[in-house]
Every structure is written in structure tokens, then in C-alpha cells.
């Protein structure tokens, strides 16, 4: 058993696809036409980090309640975690692609980490391998 997808509510499909594929380097796995339960057009859009088992279903906001959740899906806290093998390379590439980081990189026992915002404003941790040793606070 594994988790296949997590829905991420976005304002619109194409800007979100561009952000995740170009700025973050995810793969566009699927972009298929679909219909809502009441027959309105929508798309089934899946992006996934290269080699990852779990992907994101980019779901265009439909209605006031969903539009209000865009960018605040985790109520202002970090809700998404992107683990990379080479933190410095990923951090530099993402910054060069316009990704907005809201914290400077720091070392924690669980890894090198910096918080960034996705296209909608949701907070993510960019996580690299744990440091070999973290100095205790002075």
C-alpha cells in the first residue's frame, strides 16, 4: 500500500503546471480532460517529483470555499515537504527559477531545511540530507 496522490487546490491549471514542472522540476504525469459530478469541464492534472511514488493532483478551485483555501491549505503552517538529495543544488536552481524562500537554509537533526512558497502561497519545506553533526545552541 502507498499514498498515490494528494490534492492541491490551485487557482488555475496552467500556471500551476508551469510552476511545478519548470520552477520545481516535477514531471507532468497526466493532464486529461474530465467532468465534475454535475457535468462541468475540469482536468485531471498530476505532477510528481522525478522518481517519487506520491504525486500532486492539481485541482482548480471550484466555488467560494475552495477559492478561500488556495494558498492556505495547511492553515499557515508548513504542509508539504520536498526531500532532495542535493540541497544546495536544488535551493540554487529553485531560487534561479523564481521560487520565493521565506527562510534562510538551516541545519536541523532531520536535515538541511528552508521554507518556500508554492505558486498559491502554501508553505513547503525543502529538505536535504541531515548534517553529519549539528552544533548545539550556545
pLDDT tens per residue across span 79-137: 999 999 999 999 999 999 999 999 999 999 999 999 999 999 999 999 999 977 545 55
Q: Are residues 64 and 76 in the same domain?
A: no
Q: Are residues 2 and 46 in the same domain?
A: yes
Residue 40 is predicted with a pLDDT of 86
| Residue partners of 124: CB distance under 8 A and separation at least 6 | 78, 79, 80, 81, 82, 115, 116, 117, 118
Residue 113 is predicted with a pLDDT of 98
CB 103 within 8 A of CB 112: no
Q: Are residues 78 and 119 in the same domain?
A: yes
pLDDT tens per residue across span 20-56: 999 999 999 999 998 888 888 899 999 999 999 999 9
Q: Is the pLDDT of residue 16 over 70?
A: yes
| Residue partners of 125: CB distance under 8 A and separation at least 6 | 78, 80, 81, 82, 113, 114, 115
Q: Are residues 4 and 34 in the same domain?
A: yes
Q: Are residues 97 and 138 in the same domain?
A: yes
Q: Are residues 11 and 76 in the same domain?
A: no
pLDDT tens per residue across span 63-82: 999 999 999 999 999 999 99
Q: Of 35, 70, 105, which one is at a domain's C-terminal end? A: 70
Residue 83 is predicted with a pLDDT of 96
Query: Cell digits for 36?
Result: 465534475
Nearest to 60 by CA among 11, 100, 128: 11
Amino acid at each position: 500500500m502507498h499514498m498515490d496522490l494528494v490534492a492541491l487546490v490551485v487557482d488555475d491549471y496552467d500556471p500551476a503546471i508551469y510552476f511545478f514542472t519548470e520552477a520545481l522540476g516535477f514531471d507532468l504525469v497526466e493532464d486529461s480532460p474530465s467532468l465534475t459530478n454535475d457535468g462541468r469541464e475540469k482536468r485531471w492534472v498530476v505532477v510528481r517529483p522525478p522518481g517519487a511514488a506520491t504525486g500532486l493532483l492539481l485541482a482548480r478551485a471550484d466555488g467560494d470555499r475552495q477559492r478561500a483555501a488556495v494558498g492556505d491549505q495547511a492553515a499557515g503552517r508548513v504542509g508539504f515537504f520536498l526531500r532532495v538529495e542535493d540541497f544546495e543544488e536544488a535551493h540554487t536552481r529553485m531560487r534561479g527559477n523564481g521560487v520565493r524562500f521565506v527562510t534562510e537554509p538551516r541545519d536541523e537533526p532531520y536535515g538541511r531545511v528552508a521554507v518556500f512558497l508554492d505558486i498559491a502561497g502554501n508553505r513547503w519545506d525543502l529538505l536535504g540530507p541531515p548534517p553529519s553533526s549539528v552544533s548545539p545552541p550556545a
